[in-house]
Amino acid sequence: MLTSFMSYLGSTMTPGQAGNQLWALIYVLIIFAGVSVAVICMNWIERKALAHFQIRLGPMRVGPHGLMQPFADALKLMLKEDIIPAEADQFVFWVAPLIGLLAAFTVYTVIPFGPSQAVSDMNIGILFMLGVSSLGVLGIVVAGWASNSHYPLMGALRSSAQMVSYEVAMGLAVVSAVLLTSLHGIGIYGVTGNGDTGTLSMIGIVQAQQEQHVWFIFKFFPLGLIAFVIFAIAMVAEVNRAPFDLAEAESELTAGFHTEYSGLRWSLFMLAEYAAMIAVSSIAVTLWLGGWVRPFPNLLQGTAWDFIFSLFPGLTFLGLAGVALLGTVRMPSHSFFKIQKIGLGVFGMLLGSLALLLLVIAIAGRSADMSLAARFNEGIGYVYWFVLKVAVFMYLFIWYRATWPRYRFDQLMSVGWKVLLPISLGVLMLTAVVGVLVK
Amino acid sequence: MSSPVNDKTLPNAVSNLDLEAPDKPYLDSNELIINMGPQHPATHGVLRVILKLDGEKVLGTECVIGYLHRGVEKIAENRTYTMFNPYVDRMDYCAAVSNGLGYCEAVEKLMNVEAPARAQYIRVILTELNRIASHQLWLGTHALDIGAMTPLFYTFRDREEILKIFEKYCGARLTTHAFRIGGCQYETYAGFEKDVTNFLTFFAPKIDEYETLLTTNRIWLERTKNVGVISAKDAIALGVTGPVLRASGVKWDIRKALPYANYSKFDFEIPIGTNGDTYDRYLVRMMEMRQSMRIIEQAVGGIPEGPIMGKVPKVIKPPVGEIYHSIEAPKGELGYFIVSDGSTQPYRVRVRPPSFVNLQALDIMVRGALVADVVAVIGTIDIVLGEVDR
């Protein structure tokens, strides 16, 4: 076991490719923990950002600047009474949140955080991802059905109609990105590649962008951009977020599909929703924004630039630590705030030491040899740029929610079928034609 | 298994939706009868709407009201005219000043006294400020119903400035009880004019801010245009008044049609719509806020000196008779019908609340629309349940 553990360390493959179940398990656990932490962070950031959009402060009481609020909420939800309505279908009611959660988390097995930083590199990665992430809707539909109540049922029906109208446009947009992967070594990009065959593997798609020296969002401008925008719209509908949050439309259906849910089950739905948001953002990043590739890998080449970009993770955490410490200084000096002040200070220190650790790794691993520190540094870089790109999408989700009213059921369908579908079909065909012509 | 909600428990009084359905198989494809309210996020209080749905399509509605009934009209019969004055503030608590104005003017008309000019000006300023505050509250909640969360907080931020003026004037923010029969109880505080002028300069860009968020917002347009349309004919037939009527193209504003207080002295326009849809009602109210600002601007510049209370006896004993007096409240025509038997207590008070009458139009507006439109229409009618149920 130890040999199997150690043997993988020098590998440049994903655990799945290497056939190393132990490391695959470790990756799964790391990703599960990481996504859970990301959901907690997202919860706090959404409440704070939304609050600041809306000229209020958001959580301020539980911990400094409400930093402990997600934990307090999680605790509260876990301690709440577990209610299953008497008329509900008990088993289905019980299993529904799990379907959503499993679907949301299973997707992460193929998300490439780096060329080898993924559980597995499936050769049908993108298909697997689309398929499994659509299963999340099943959880919602089943939840609405099992609740045996009017509002949840309507939420469930809305959700299924929504999925039908958006999956198609989403799929076509994805296909046009997949088409681009078959353009290795052709046209103005002049890179040698492996011929005409495209790939469905998530890692392969990013590598195709690397080899063609362009993010697919800029490829065949504006075709890549349009396909990306269609995906970006459809993915909001896919995860039921504003302005497409019809399934849970608070002002219409009280809470839609999760009206009858409370406590831990409800929190599982929320966990699934946020995990799904991160997952679909990851698809968008992988397909159009170069995945783990850092900005300008070809323009700003060389070890010096590599070193500068490898400092970014450390500097980001240093910045966060700076914000936290600034908050500590600015905290009112009244004794009421003493504990909060200490807490925020300690939090800032933690972030600061994390930043220092990252900087030390960046400096230690700056040589391009294959030492452990260098490989570690490289991996951190991949994950950092991937997460940063995903974070932009997460912010957009909050921004949408603060800005737009909710679409109506029929309008959402007409946008899906009458606008997005024809455009994505057109983009797909044009991409194909242009691809052939360029060749 | 029986149907999830036992429809048979509904009272017989509300049966024109044909609720007496036979025992249906579990989740069949018949019409769905659903209770929206009395506890629902978008029914603006405790309105209960029974919806008859075909999928998402609304086949019919039935409003069940009375969950906030406090018997205000009956209370009036056991109170003196002065004692009843604060009660009217609790009907439309978003526009308490208008309610007070209507009541005070009705009693004054009954007693044949008139408030002095200075009091009239103060009344107009406060009433119009209250109209803006009421429309702000409407805008915020209406946008929230349609799913735009943010305008609510913007309108509440700006409404706060109006409430601060009220608080400085009479000590109360919401149920102000600002006026007395015969004039105003309080003299304006030092700096009242300045506060009001400051508010006007503060608020002018804020309306533009609301409009930036919504007026040309594509989703907002889709959600409000051609939603909840009511023709001028239907609106008049149903007795609908206020912005809802004006949005259908009827130029009926009691401030112009039957001038009360001293509205005839001010120069302002009556904004009207053309289509009678939710978007027009939105535009009409937005324009009304601007017109209210115009009135306040003129009024605050011309407050005359003089007393604030007319010659009213200590004990108010109107002569035997009856009176109907109506004013243009933010939500429509607010009328008071008072019968006096010559004693210190009214024999009968009947209020014509605009929300109650306008709510009648709900059914005509949402028939054939979708569930999402029902909340949009409830928002656009701008009801306050305190006033509907009294």
The whole-number average pLDDT for the span B128-138 is 91
* Nearest partner of B101 among B132, B127, B72, judged by Cα: B127
pLDDT at B9: 44
What would the mean pLDDT of B201-222 be, rounded to a whole number? 88
Residue B269 to residue B292: CA distance in whole angstroms? 9
Q: Which of B64, B95, B112 is the last residue of a domain?
A: B64
Domain edges within chain A: 36-79, 86-293+427-438
Question: How confident is the model over B88-93, as a mean pLDDT?
Answer: 87
Please check whether residues B27 and B131 belong to one and the same domain.
Answer: no
pLDDT of B7: 46
From the list A50, A148, A401, the residue facing B4 with the nearest CB is A148
* pLDDT (0 to 100) of residue A195: 53
Residues B24 and B89 in one domain: no
A188, pLDDT greater than 50? no
3 state DSSP class of A17: helix
Q: Please state the rounded mean pLDDT for residues B166-189.
A: 87
- How many whole angstroms separate alpha carbon A348 and alpha carbon A345? 5
pLDDT for res B10 = 43
Do both B52 and B165 map to the same domain? no
Q: How far apart are CA B213 and CA B153, in angstroms?
A: 12
Is the predicted pLDDT of residue B5 greater than 70, yes or no? no
Nearest of A109, A431, A94, A117 to residue A288 by alpha carbon: A431
The answer to whether residue A156 scores a pLDDT higher than 70 is yes
**Mean pLDDT computed over B251-260:** 86
pLDDT band per the 50, 70, 90 thresholds, residue A395: very high
Task: For residue range A321-356, list pLDDT tens digits in order.
Answer: 898 888 888 888 888 888 888 888 888 999 999 888
Give yes or no for residue B12 having a pLDDT over 50. no
Indicate whether B2 pLDDT > 50.
no
Task: Specify the 3-state DSSP secondary structure of A161.
Answer: helix
Answer yes or no: do A55 and B219 touch at CB < 8 A: no
Asked whether residue B13 carries a pLDDT value surpassing 70, the answer given is: no
Mutation site for A-interface testing, chosen from B222, B227, B380 by largest number of A Cβ within 10 Å? B222
pLDDT at A193 over 70: no
Final residue of a structural domain among B20, B40, B64: B64
Q: Do B220 and A50 touch (CB under 8 A)?
A: no
- Separation in Å, CA of B71 to nearest CA in chain A: 30
Distances (CA, A) of A270 to A231, A258, B171: 23, 10, 44
**One domain, residues B33 and B109:** no
User: In the numeric block, which tokens belong to residue B135?
Assistant: 């429309």
- Looking at the fold, whether B272 and B227 belong to one and the same domain comes out as yes
Query: A187 pLDDT band (50/70/90 cuts)?
Result: very low
Of all residues in chain B, the percent with pLDDT exceeding 90 is 15
- Pair B45, B132 in one domain: no
**Reported confidence tier of residue B6, pLDDT bands at 50, 70, 90:** very low
Q: Are residues B132 and B235 in the same domain?
A: yes
Q: Identify the residue whose tokens are 């958006």.
A: A166
- Average pLDDT in the B118-129 region? 90
Residue found under tokens 């170069």: A290
Q: Do A405 and B154 touch (CB under 8 A)?
A: no
CA distance B96 to B86: 9
Helix (H, G, I), strand (E, B) or coil at B57: strand
Mean pLDDT (whole number) for B61-88: 88
Burial of B190 (0-12, 13-18, 19+ CB in 10 A): exposed
Q: Which residues of B touch A56 (CB under 8 A)?
A: 153
If you average pLDDT over every residue of chain B, what do you get?
Answer: 85
| C-alpha–C-alpha distance, residues A408 and A414, integer Å | 10
- Measured CA to CA, the distance from residue B378 to residue A342 in angstroms comes to 49
B54 CB within 8 Å of a chain A CB = no
**Residue A369 pLDDT:** 65
Q: Is B209 left (phi over 0), alpha (psi -120 to 50) or beta?
A: alpha
If DSSP states are collapsed to H, E and C, what string results for B261-280? CCHHHCCCCCCCCCCCCHHH
Count: domains in chain B:
2
Q: How far apart are CA B199 and CA B222, in angstroms?
A: 33
pLDDT greater than 70 at residue A439? no
In chain A, what percentage of residues exceed pLDDT 90? 7
Q: Is the pLDDT of residue A81 over 80?
A: yes
Q: Does B145 touch chain A (CB under 8 A)?
A: yes
The DSSP code for B324 is E
Quick one: pLDDT band at residue A191, thresholds 50, 70, 90? very low
Asked if residue B298 and residue B359 are part of one domain, the reply reads yes
**Residue B47: Cβ within 10 Å count:** 25
Q: Say if residue B17 is in the same domain as residue B95.
A: no
Q: What is the pLDDT of residue A370?
A: 63
> Do B22 and B363 form a contact (C-beta atoms < 8 A)?
no
The mean pLDDT value for B253-258 works out to 86
Strands B57-64 and B179-180, bridge-based pairing: unpaired
Of the two residues A422 and A150, the one the predictor is more confident about is: A422
pLDDT at A186 over 50: no
- Token look-up 């046209």 returns A187
| Nearest beta carbon to residue B40 from set A242, A254, A405 | A254
Q: Is the domain of B184 the same as that of B220?
A: yes
Continuous H helices in B189-272 = 192-214, 218-224, 232-237, 243-247, 254-257
Per-residue pLDDT at B51? 86
Q: What is the pTM of this model?
A: 0.84
pLDDT at site A192: 44
- Would you say residue B115 has pLDDT above 60? yes
Residue A422 has pLDDT above 50, yes or no: yes
Is B34 close to A151, i.e. CB distance below 8 A? yes
User: pLDDT tens, B184-202?
Assistant: 888 888 888 889 999 999 9
B25 touches chain A (CB under 8 A): no
Q: Is the pLDDT of residue B388 over 60?
A: yes
Are A223 and A433 in contact by the 8 Å Cβ rule? The answer is no
B4 touches chain A (CB under 8 A): yes
| Mean pLDDT, rounded, for B59-64 | 86
For testing the chain A interface, which of B40, B57, B150 should be mutated: the one with the most A CBs within 10 Å? B150
CB contact under 8 A, B154 and A251: no
**Confidence at residue B19, expressed as pLDDT on a 0 to 100 scale:** 53
Predicted local confidence at residue B17, as pLDDT: 55
Q: Residue B37's domain spans which residues?
A: 7-64
Q: Supply the CATH number for residue B297's domain.
A: 1.10.645.10
Tell me whether residue B155 is in a domain.
Answer: yes
Q: What pLDDT digit, counting tens, does each position of B334-345 carry? A: 999 999 888 888
Tell me: do B15 and B78 sit in the same domain: no
B371 CB near a chain A CB, below 8 Å? Answer: yes
When the pLDDT of each residue in chain A is averaged and rounded to a whole number, the result is 83
Burial A197-230 (b: 16+ CB within 10 A, else e): ebbbbbbbbbbbbbbbebbbbbbbeebbbbbbbb
Does residue A194 register a pLDDT over 80? no
CA distance A172 to A230: 9
The SS3 call for residue A34 is helix
pLDDT digits 0-9 by tens, A108-138: 888 888 887 788 887 788 888 888 888 888 8
Q: Which of B38, B64, B90 is the last residue of a domain?
A: B64
Q: Which two tokens stand for residue B266?
A: 């001010």
Span between the terminal Cα atoms of chain B, in Å: 41
Residues B176 and B207 in one domain: yes
* CA of B12 vs chain A CAs: smallest distance (Å): 22
Model confidence at A299: pLDDT above 50: yes
Which of the residue ranges A180-194, A217-231, B80-94 would you say has the lowest mean pLDDT?
Answer: A180-194
Specify the pLDDT at position A423.
92
B344, part of any domain: yes
- List CB contacts (< 8 A) between A54 and chain B: 149-150, 152-154
Token pair 């807490």: residue? A343
